[in-house]
Structure 1
Amino acid sequence: MHDLINDFAKLVAGEFCNTLDDAKGLKLAKKTRHLSYVRAKHGNLKEFEGTYERKVLRTFLLMEQSWELDQNENGAIHDLLPTLTRLRVLSLYQYSYLPDSIGNLKHLRYLNLFKASLKNLHAIIHALYNLQTLILRECKDLVELPNSIGKLKHLQHLDLSATSIRKLPNCVIGLCNLETLILRQCKDLTVLPTNMASLMNLHHLDTRETNLKEMPLQMVNLKNLLDIQ
């Protein structure tokens, strides 16, 4: 989460932001643009006052916590997401699922689903056509990516480290602006698509602690690949 906090700090510089926890209560200032929530044992996201009307929110961060979200809180986020239509940055730590309404967030640039309980990434992900960063780190149940991920033409950074994916779909060729691909500790990954050689903007590739047998031969043609591990 360290990189996320740094990115968030840069993002909110000079703008209105708010951090909510149980001690501070759950009422938002009218000019809040960036919101982070730290949940204590008896937190209740359904008590956010004014959040549903705060369509000006640019950032929503569900921060790392000691207590897992209960069913009601997951439901509250499910209801909240489609109202945040101007959101640019979304982080849902240990979230359980992505609703169809995630496709409404057309302006989203940064999506962090660190440790989310996802077996499959929702096919509606292709609707987030402005997405630049997608973090799925330590989503232990994630075994595959949808073919629709290839439609994320603006995606620059994809972190799949410590997931259970078995292969990358051939449609990754569509990620024409991808610069960073992190596959570290993907223990079930044994092969890469041969068409990965078409990712001409790829700069950094991390395959440490995987079970890859070999790299596609054509990858020697990736002239912009600066760092491979």
Structure 2
Amino acid sequence: MIDQRTLTRECLAQALNAHPNALIARTFTSLQHWKTIGKPQQGTLRAVLLNVTNGSSEEIDAEVRAAVAEFEPVAVVVLSQDQDLRAILHIIGMGVCGYIPTSVDIGVCIQALYLAIAGGRFVPASSLLSMREFLELSSVRNIAGDGSFTARQTAVAEALRCGKANKLIARELQLCESTVKVHIRNIMKKLGATNRTEVAFKIGGNVCFSQAYA
């Protein structure tokens, strides 16, 4: 484990070592510290946990790239307090085998390390949900962006994607229900859809079938 901060480094190492499914953790303050002290005494190295909480984005990028290059083919897993989806995808794209938020418990941390050791790649569930929401919203915005939908039709399409009934759409958008129906017919025509479920499917959403449609 590589972490500049003494307290967090030693506390996490003790927690990892004390866990029932423990991996034996050795700690270093930096990659250079590892090269000087750890590398000459290297035994069986199974994974590297790199804490990148401190530093600018450029410094973090350089640190991650250096670690991946130094330890290849050993799995490098990043530990960070940043849960921004773009930051996570960026780090994963540099070749690491996992991204662990500091908000998870020690059990999740250990399972993420075992997954990386086995050849998998760990991404926090919260980030996957954010990615799904981003892709779903992007699909609606892409349709609107190509000029085929008006702004109002885009809003109605987004409501359909969420499985909302006509009455609810009308109330939220402050429209008459008959106007909502007209927008839905136009949306269906533009998408070549035969029903609202097909509309939701084509724009990448999930329909809640418990909704009562008017």
**TM-score interval, smaller chain:** 0.3 to 0.5
Higher-Rg member (1/2): 2
TM-score normalised according to structure 1 size: 0.31
TM-score, length of structure 2 as denominator length: 0.33
Greater share of strand? 1
Say which structure, 1 or 2, has more relative contact order (CA 8 Å, 6+ apart).
2
Structure 1 or 2: more helix by fraction: 2
